[in-house]
């Protein structure tokens, strides 16, 4: 193993972040800066019959208030949906226009109506109460299964083959499950600081990729993307929701143009519950056809996905293409057919959240597989074993067309069952029963087909002081990019990690990039960084040959320098750098763009044991065993941290998190941490993590994506364990004590 890569090196960025030296948007101040607040709709659906901002605008400290009419004068445009596509039958995509500020109609509680700009935050907030508004309320729908407002109907698969398989089946098994919409709730709320100056815009905001944000914001301003600079420093968690743009990021720029001063807006936690994009939100039915030996012959799925009030940037793609991508799962399913209806509701829009459709699909299929294993009498392990894609079939083409380049599903499942001591469960169950508790065990298998943008570009530049500057278009939001990329490059160049500096998040410094998403930063940007380093070394080799007065072919590279073969004549990168001019365009460097396959297939098995108190319905997670195949791990500590975080979110969705609306008014009833329960440290067990890593040949690093796997694989394992404990399969998450008690008591 190399000196740096593959080792659990403490993260380079942690010292800065843990000592208060991080650079977040709320740390920024610009001279003469103004502050903004958003007046939001208090009703879920209605026509605006009155909007009077006169009294609010006259309050001390208020500089101005923007409404939709003001934005028209500033040349602003509606927000685009980047993932919009027609239905499978060619029916055009349907979407209400999403203006930056509501014009005539509001469609969810929190829909922005007016943008107040003032000298102080307090003055801006005080003006909220002085705005006079009235609404003609309309019926509100917050349950997607009750909505008739369809954006798109998406179909995939072979309906005729699936129908024939079901007609000939020895047995069929069906299940209905929901993945309720969940609040992402990153520790850092959204914020934006905008400045218009000399015909150009500068936006400081959280992102998962500054170039995507630049293009989306420029479209709403009616501006050339080249005139918009987006800067992202440190990001306090994202999980998908800071990938897309929101009205406020455009509004601070429009306001800066209108009032000639920088404008800053910071979301409160209450606002984040109202206006942030939510995750998940699908109600689905799935069924399998089985032959007489219990082997799957077909899978069919129908699903209704909750778009929310508008088509968010990537929302429709998550509910349709993202959801259907992994429906083939780890099982050898000859035929499948899926129909997804993406519908509008009177709630905040939904969009990508850690896994972006794959957690919903994997949960649905894995719960169906669990039920089939029980009903056939084969049991959870044998039924799965009988239907897994065998290693001998790799590379495997799933029924929906996606290719699994390599995977060892059965070996990983067996490793999970062994590590969790599946065979010893009965003794533990008996011991729990002696204490009046119900104990259950559940397994959840998963795979991820990683994605992200292939439009990635990285630069590696030798600096005059001998250090290495890395410029890349991805964006960290807690993943440890500074450390992982430095580890890779330190091994490549055989130099200390502290001589490498990684820069992300500035469209002025980084020409292009696809951003971070789909568990792809290392499999995509890691590869382009190493390829850019090869180009840099080729250029450095020419300079070294000139300095050593020898042919390039006679030079070999190692330990940070070039040596003439067979001699002790040597020049280091630092010595080459000392001769370079300081102008960046004349530095010795290399550039590489992504030109390789980006889809990898991480997979694994999670085994959970729970204890349930039948008197209260309280579920205690007793054991959580995870076996993951991530390919090569650059930093095992960071990889395990990603798994820990994803499991916490999966457990939260399975046991605690629930978004609740008043069914009559559409008011959000779970709009604070008093009403919306995230898992706390005491709710989580010690995770027993194991690796079953097999490097992939898809990329030169042998890496498979890691960021989303635990959120994909975790929910089904937890719910399967609870189902086993209470002896019934017709259950669904979140398994709150009230719901479990109800299941136990009929």
- Listed range (64-78, 309-323, 485-499, 587-601) with the worst mean pLDDT: 587-601
- Candidates 641, 643, 635, 653; CA nearest to 602 is 643
- The confidence score (pLDDT) of residue 39 equals 98
User: What size, in residues, is the chain?
Assistant: 746
Q: Which value, to the nearest 10 degrees, does the dihedral of the CA atoms of residues 15, 20, 21, 26 take? A: 140
Burial 387-422 (b: 16+ CB within 10 A, else e): bbbeeeeeebebbbebebebbbbbbbbbbbbebbeb
Task: Tell me how far apart the alpha carbons of residues 448 and 404 are, in angstroms, rounded to a whole number.
Answer: 10
CA 742 to chain centre: 33
Three-state DSSP string of 537-594:
HHHHHHHHHHHHCCCHHHEEEECCEEEECCCCCEEEHHHHHHCCCCCHHHCEEEEEEC
Question: Is the pLDDT reported for residue 2 higher than 70?
Answer: no
Instruction: List CB contacts of 585: < 8 A, sequence separation 6 or more.
Output: none
Rounded mean pLDDT of 208-217?
Answer: 96
Rounded mean pLDDT of 132-141?
Answer: 97
- The confidence score (pLDDT) of residue 262 equals 98
Structure tokens at 428: 């533990």
Task: Tell me how far apart the alpha carbons of residues 468 and 559 are, in angstroms, rounded to a whole number.
Answer: 14
C-beta atoms surrounding 237 within 10 Å: 16
- The confidence score (pLDDT) of residue 585 equals 63
Residue 296 DSSP symbol: E
Burial 161-172 (b: 16+ CB within 10 A, else e): bbeebbeebeeb
Furthest-apart CA pair in the chain: how many Å?
Answer: 87
Q: Which residue has the tokens 């073969």?
A: 565
Q: Which residue has the tokens 């609306």?
A: 661
The three-state secondary structure class of 405 is: coil
Name the average pLDDT for the chain. Answer: 95
- The confidence score (pLDDT) of residue 739 equals 97
The three-state secondary structure class of 644 is: helix
Three-state DSSP string of 425-464:
HHHHHHHHHHCCCEEEEEEEEEECCCCCCCCCEEEEEECC
- Candidates 651, 628, 638, 646; CA nearest to 704 is 628
- The confidence score (pLDDT) of residue 584 equals 62
pTM listed for this prediction:
0.96
Question: Is the pLDDT reported for residue 24 higher than 70?
Answer: yes
Q: Could you report the per-residue pLDDT of 672-690, keeping only the tens digit for each?
A: 999 999 999 999 999 999 9
For residue 682, CA distances in Å to 599, 679, 687 come to 36, 8, 13
For residue 565, CA distances in Å to 429, 536, 544, 557 come to 68, 20, 13, 10
CB 726 within 8 A of CB 616: no
| CB-neighbour burial class of residue 636 (10 A; exposed 0-12, middle 13-18, buried 19+) | middle
Q: Could you report the per-residue pLDDT of 457-501, keeping only the tens digit for each?
A: 999 999 998 999 999 999 999 999 999 999 999 999 999 999 999
Task: Tell me how far apart the alpha carbons of residues 51 and 37 are, in angstroms, rounded to a whole number.
Answer: 16
Q: Of all residues in the chain, what percent carry a pLDDT higher than 90?
A: 92
| CB-neighbour burial class of residue 699 (10 A; exposed 0-12, middle 13-18, buried 19+) | buried
CB 449 within 8 A of CB 401: no
Question: Is the pLDDT reported for residue 402 higher than 70?
Answer: yes
Domains defined along the chain, listed by start: 25-138+190-238+242-261 (3.90.1170.50), 282-450+599-744 (3.30.365.10), 452-593 (3.30.365.10)
Q: Could you report the per-residue pLDDT of 625-639, keeping only the tens digit for each?
A: 999 999 999 999 999
Rounded mean pLDDT of 405-413?
Answer: 96
Structure tokens at 619: 């579920």
Q: Could you report the per-residue pLDDT of 45-57, keeping only the tens digit for each?
A: 999 999 999 999 9
Find the DSSP H helices in 377-516.
379-387, 409-419, 425-434, 481-493
Residue 153 φ/ψ region, left for φ over 0, alpha for ψ in the -120 to 50 degree band, beta for the rest: beta
Instruction: List CB contacts of 153: < 8 A, sequence separation 6 or more.
Output: 87, 88, 89, 91, 339, 340, 341, 342
DSSP string, 327-347: TTTTB--S-EEEEEEEE--SS
Rounded mean pLDDT of 66-94?
Answer: 93
Task: Tell me how far apart the alpha carbons of residues 579 and 372 are, in angstroms, rounded to a whole number.
Answer: 70
């Amino acid at each position: 193993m190399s000196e740096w890569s593959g080792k659990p090196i403490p993260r380079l960025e942690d010292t800065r972040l843990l000592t208060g030296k991080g650079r977040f948007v709320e740390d920024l101040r610009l001279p003469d800066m103004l502050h903004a607040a958003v007046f939001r709709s208090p009703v879920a659906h209605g026509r605006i019959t009155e909007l009077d901002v006169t009294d609010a605008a006259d309050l001390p400290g208020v500089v101005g208030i923007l409404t939709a009419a003001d934005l028209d004068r500033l040349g602003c445009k509606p927000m685009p949906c980047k993932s919009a596509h027609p239905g499978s039958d060619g029916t055009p995509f349907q979407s209400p226009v999403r203006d930056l500020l509501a014009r005539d109609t509001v469609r969810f509680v929190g829909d922005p109506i007016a943008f107040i700009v003032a000298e102080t935050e307090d003055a801006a907030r005080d003006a909220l109460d002085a705005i006079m508004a009235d609404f003609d309320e309309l019926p509100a729908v917050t349950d997607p299964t009750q909505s008739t407002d369809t954006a798109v109907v998406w179909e995939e698969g072979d309906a005729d083959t699936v129908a024939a398989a079901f007609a000939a089946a020895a047995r069929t098994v069906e299940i209905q499950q929901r993945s309720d919409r969940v609040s992402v709730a990153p520790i850092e709320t959204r914020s934006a600081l905008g400045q218009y100056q000399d015909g150009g815009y500068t936006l400081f905001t959280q992102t998962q990729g500054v170039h995507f944000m630049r293009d989306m914001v420029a479209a709403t301003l009616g501006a050339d993307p080249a005139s918009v600079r987006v800067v992202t420093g440190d990001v306090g968690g994202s999980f998908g929701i800071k990938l897309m743009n929101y009205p406020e990021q455009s509004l601070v720029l429009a306001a800066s143009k209108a009032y000639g001063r920088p404008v800053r807006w910071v979301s409160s936690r209450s606002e984040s519950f109202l206006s942030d994009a939510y995750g998940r939100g699908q109600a689905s039915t799935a069924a399998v056809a089985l032959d007489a030996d219990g082997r799957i012959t077909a899978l069919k799925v129908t699903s209704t996905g909750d778009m929310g009030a508008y088509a968010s940037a990537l929302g429709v793609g998550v509910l349709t293409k993202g959801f259907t991508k992994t429906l083939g799962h780890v099982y050898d399913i000859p035929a499948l057919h899926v129909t997804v209806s993406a519908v509008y509701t009177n709630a905040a829009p939904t969009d990508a959240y850690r896994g972006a459709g794959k957690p919903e699909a994997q949960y649905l299929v894995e719960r169906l597989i669990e039920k089939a294993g029980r009903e056939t009498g084969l049991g959870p392990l044998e039924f799965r074993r009988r239907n897994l894609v065998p290693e001998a079939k790799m590379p495997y083409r799933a029924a929906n067309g996606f290719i699994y380049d390599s995977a060892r599903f059965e070996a990983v499942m067996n490793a999970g069952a062994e590590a969790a001591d599946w065979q010893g469960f009965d003794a533990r169950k008996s011991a729990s029963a002696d204490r009046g508790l119900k104990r259950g065990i559940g397994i959840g298998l998963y795979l991820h087909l990683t994605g992200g943008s292939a439009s990635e570009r990285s630069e590696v530049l030798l600096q005059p002081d001998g250090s290495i500057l890395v410029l890349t278009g991805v964006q960290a939001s807690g993943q440890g990019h500074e450390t992982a990329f430095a580890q890779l490059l330190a091994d490549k160049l055989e130099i200390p990690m502290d001589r490498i500096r990684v820069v992300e998040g500035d469209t002025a410094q980084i020409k292009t990039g696809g951003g971070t998403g789909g568990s792809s930063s290392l499999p995509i940007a890691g590869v382009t960084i190493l390829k850019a380093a090869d180009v840099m070394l080729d250029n450095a080799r020419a300079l070294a040959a000139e300095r050593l007065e020898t042919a390039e072919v006679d030079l070999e590279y190692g330990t940070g320098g070039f040596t003439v073969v067979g001699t002790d004549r040597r020049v280091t990168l630092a010595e080459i750098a000392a001769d370079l001019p300081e102008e960046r365009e004349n530095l010795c460097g290399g550039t590489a763009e992504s030109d390789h396959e980006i889809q990898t297939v991480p997979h694994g098995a999670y085994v959970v044991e729970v204890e349930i108190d039948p008197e209260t319905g309280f579920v205690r997670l007793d054991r959580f065993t995870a076996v993951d195949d991530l390919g090569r791990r650059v930093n095992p500590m960071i990889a395990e941290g990603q798994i820990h975080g994803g499991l916490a979110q999966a457990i939260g969705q399975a046991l605690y998190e629930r978004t609740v609306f008043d069914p009559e008014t559409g008011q959000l009833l779970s709009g604070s941490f008093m009403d919306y329960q995230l898992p706390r440290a005491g709710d989580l067990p010690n995770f027993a993590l194991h690796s079953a890593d097999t490097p992939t040949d898809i990329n030169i690093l042998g890496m498979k994506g890691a960021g989303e796997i635990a959120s994909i694989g975790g929910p089904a394992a937890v719910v399967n364990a609870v189902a086993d404990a209470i002896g019934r399969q017709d259950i669904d998450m979140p398994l709150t004590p009230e719901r479990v008690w109800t299941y136990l008591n009929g």
